[in-house]
């Protein structure tokens, strides 16, 4: 079975709508409790990226060495970490250990991004753009 999510709609300042493939992502915090966040599925991103304040809020343990990574917005310092991520519907539930890059610039205004490495290996992901839906079918990573 595949889990189907509808794109969410966000009003722009000019009143027009932006539609984007955000899904509910449950992440374990440092107290082992699950909290629900909206995450952007981004097939153009190599890695999963977490904003700095979200990582601090969750108590995510970050590795000590800061690295540089590049995005459309420019170069940003990141630290590697892992989080326990759960994707679920009423019928299905999948928990995986997700490698993430934690952006070190707290001013960087990004959502929680689910990129390819660590996430896309676990699901067959279909962007049904004409229907404004996205489906995730769990597969075994190779």
Partner 1 sequence: MPELIQMDTKKYRGEWIVIIDDVVIAHNKDIRLLKDVIDHCKKKPLIMKVPDADILLY
Contact by Cβ (8 Å): 49, 41? no
Calpha distance 54→92 (Å, rounded): 26
Tell which residue, 105, 111, 94, 127, has the closest CA to residue 4: 127
Q: Which is nearer to partner 1, 57 or 127 (CB)?
A: 57
Q: Which is nearer to partner 1, 54 or 120 (CB)?
A: 54
Binds partner 1 (CB under 8 A): choice among 12, 68, 91, 142? 12
Q: Which residues pair with 137 in a beta bridge?
A: 2, 124
Interaction between residue 23 and partner 1 (CB under 8 A): yes
Site for partner 1 in 91-120 (CB under 8 A): 106, 109-113
Contact by Cβ (8 Å): 100, 77? no
Binds partner 1 (CB under 8 A): choice among 47, 60, 71, 79? 71
Tokens of 116: 């390819």
State how far Cα 93 lies from the chain centre: 16
Calpha distance 133→127 (Å, rounded): 6
Tokens of 121: 């290996």
Quote the least distance from Cβ 108 to partner 1, whole Å: 9
Interaction between residue 9 and partner 1 (CB under 8 A): yes
Interaction between residue 38 and partner 1 (CB under 8 A): yes
Binds partner 1 (CB under 8 A): choice among 4, 8, 80, 137? 8
Q: How many residues form the binding site for partner 1 (CB under 8 A)?
A: 35
DSSP 62: B
Quote the least distance from Cβ 140 to partner 1, whole Å: 27
Q: Which is nearer to partner 1, 59 or 141 (CB)?
A: 59
């Amino acid at each position: 079975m595949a889990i189907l999510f509808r794109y969410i709609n966000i009003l722009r300042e000019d009143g027009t709508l932006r539609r984007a493939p955000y899904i509910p992502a449950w992440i374990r915090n440092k107290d082992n409790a699950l909290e629900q966040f909206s995450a952007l599925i981004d097939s153009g991103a190599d890695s999963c990226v977490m904003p700095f304040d979200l990582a601090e809020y969750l108590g995510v343990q970050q590795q000590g060495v800061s690295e540089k990574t590049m995005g459309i917005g420019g170069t940003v310092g990141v630290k590697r970490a892992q989080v326990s991520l759960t994707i679920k519907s009423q019928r299905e539930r999948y928990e995986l250990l997700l490698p993430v890059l934690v952006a070190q610039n707290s001013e960087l205004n990004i959502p929680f991004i689910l990129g390819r490495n660590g996430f896309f290996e676990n699901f067959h992901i279909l962007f049904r753009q004409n229907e404004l839906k996205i489906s995730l079918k769990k597969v075994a990573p190779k």
